A and B are shown apart, each in its own frame.
Chain A
């Protein structure tokens, strides 16, 4: 997410699992608005009060919040793994390639989301306001952009997206209270690689990191796979610290 991206990113990731869990057992379409609600609640109750204290305070509070959400899920659903009542399909074979139904669903959903977000950010008045707040909140306020409202809407959208990612991840593997933690490193790596604040960059980054991790198993033992994304982060910081698609370098 471009808007307020850096602060909210981590909390989104950390709370992902909980959104997925919250969703369990309810209608598919309900998940999105529920998570949007939880995200907005987090914003109203916590983040809006801390917004002026710098991004690190927000990061730390997101750590605390993720502990709370994770354990609400544990309290309500217990520890055992859960599953969506969703039929797993055999792959379609196409010239020796195996294509999974879930992979297809995931790809389509993600592409649709990227297009929607791009449209939203670059063509709608709301998107313009979001970008303005992200670039320079003070200036945006002077121009009459209501920061609080924009932030809240942004959180809703981010909530929907994380809910979606939680559902997709749940389809892919199993759902348990620790789900969200497992995705942290690759997602950060993807965001940095793409350049913080660029949705297209994030997608390209995610694809590159994913491919790098999976392909590394050809040369590396599989148990070292998770190190690959960290190495990519370090290498990028050395060479090109604004990522592939990032705007201006974010130096101090």
Chain B
């Protein structure tokens, strides 16, 4: 056993050295000046569909910052991205590699609460910053040393919004159809409480496992008693199957889905025919759709105007906030610049959405209030997002139409 361990150690050390040498293909001096940051994103497994756009958004903004002269007096950002394979064990190893080998100051990305939760102890122990695009309440609970920032709405914030949408659609008797996962599960109780407060009634809560061969029995059980509406807490793959089943079953109850399933950065509409999607309502934490920042971001991503990117904006903002906070604190030291995050993101200050302009203003010593592409990026002292508004949309003729923005 000892033999093989030592061999492996040599092997890996060798590999590490080889890769470092590979990186240093550029002039050796430039490397010392680079500031390493990292992200753990899903490219395979059940949440694999979300990774590519998040990576693209982060890569694009890193390039903009670097082409604009970098930060901290001309130093460039180097972004390392690792695949989480939608698996916490892999996510932890990837985080470990980013922290110890690439020496990153930030571990961002994190689509999916289990991975963010599993990586949390490591990142805190290393005194680096964790930025997540995941929702489970547990991520910002407990002692976070002030190092964790959430770029998504908390699960418990989604539930009451669902109840408000149900009420505004005048749906009184509703059923919940929910996938078993930590993101969805913590929505159910707040939803029920808010429904009760608004005078509605939750008739049944039906839960199902991810990756089933068919969802016929669940759909039958949820829609069969003909509730006014069904709150479908699903992700993309299962929501595609469920909505087809609902259409084929000829059920009349209104469907309210989550943006993670019924939109998924436009993937849902590509997966079903328009008549199946017709009339489905869905809600998601809104990117500031009308803001100039968001419009510019959509253009940057090369997507048609009005596309609602749910997660890609988050990685974009993570890079921006990191760069701004580093510039503000005048250091790449994670434990130091993390304290500058709320300085550059929260009001008061001059609102600015352009990252290069914002960096310029920070350098000039102005107090800014950065507005991101995925959100206004204002945080409370636990690192959770403030002023998270939700977007309620309905699908008509194969297109998303905005109904209202809720807070």
Contact = CB atoms under 8 A, between A and B. Distances in A.
A90 B213 contact: no
Interface in A77-101: 78-83, 85-91, 93, 98, 100-101
A11 B209 CA distance: 24
Nearest to B213: A182
Given A82-B271, A88-B248, A102-B248, A173 B208 contact: no
Contact of A90 (B208, B236, B250, B270): B250
B247 A88 contact: yes
Contact of B221 (A74, A87, A217): A217
A252 B361 CA distance: 79
A79 B48 contact: yes
Contacts of A177: 48
Is the interface on chain B under 10, 10 to 19, 20 to 34, or 35 or more residues?
35 or more
B333 interface: no
Interface in B231-258: 236-237, 240-241, 244-245, 247-250
A223 interface: yes
Interface string B193-226: 0000000000000111101111111101100000
Contacts of B237: 81, 174, 176, 178
A182 B211 CA distance: 6
Contacts of B275: 87-88
Interface string B14-38: 0000000000000000000000000
A226 interface: yes
A71 to B, nearest CB: 8
A81 B267 contact: yes
B248 A100 contact: yes
Contacts of A98: 249-250
Nearest to A181: B211
Is the interface on chain A under 10, 10 to 19, 20 to 34, or 35 or more residues?
35 or more
Interface in A205-252: 213-214, 216-217, 221-223, 225-226
Contacts of B217: 213-214, 216-217, 222, 225
Contact of A79 (B43, B211, B216): B43
Interface string A182-211: 110010000000000000000000000000
Given A90-B250, A223-B208, A214 B271 contact: no
Contact of A91 (B248, B270, B276): B248
Nearest to B272: A83
A36 B241 CA distance: 27
Contacts of B244: 88, 172-174
B271 A90 contact: no
Nearest to A176: B237
Most chain-B Cβ atoms within 10 A of its Cβ — which of A85, A93, A183, A217? Answer: A217
A30 to B, nearest CB: 22
A101 B211 CA distance: 24
B80 to A, nearest CB: 21
Given A83-B273, A87-B273, A174-B271, A183 B236 contact: no
Contacts of A79: 43-44, 48-49, 51-52
Nearest to B276: A88
A51 to B, nearest CB: 30
Contacts of A226: 209, 212
B46 interface: yes
A74 B44 contact: yes
A216 B247 CA distance: 23
Given A83-B271, A217-B217, A174 B241 contact: yes
B241 A89 contact: no
B387 interface: no
B407 interface: no
Nearest to B250: A91
A172 B221 CA distance: 18
Contacts of B215: 173
Given A74-B44, A91-B248, A176-B237, A221 B207 contact: yes
Contacts of B93: none
Contacts of B213: 169, 173, 182-183, 186
Interface of A: 74, 78-83, 85-91, 93, 98, 100-102, 169, 172-174, 176-178, 181-183, 186, 213-214, 216-217, 221-223, 225-226
29 contacts: A79-B44, A79-B52, A80-B271, A81-B237, A83-B270, A88-B244, A88-B247, A88-B276, A90-B248, A93-B250, A98-B250, A101-B248, A169-B213, A173-B213, A173-B241, A173-B245, A174-B244, A176-B237, A178-B237, A182-B212, A213-B217, A217-B220, A217-B221, A221-B207, A222-B207, A222-B218, A225-B212, A225-B217, A226-B212
6 closest Cβ contacts across the A-B interface? A79-B48, A173-B241, A174-B240, A217-B217, A80-B49, A182-B213
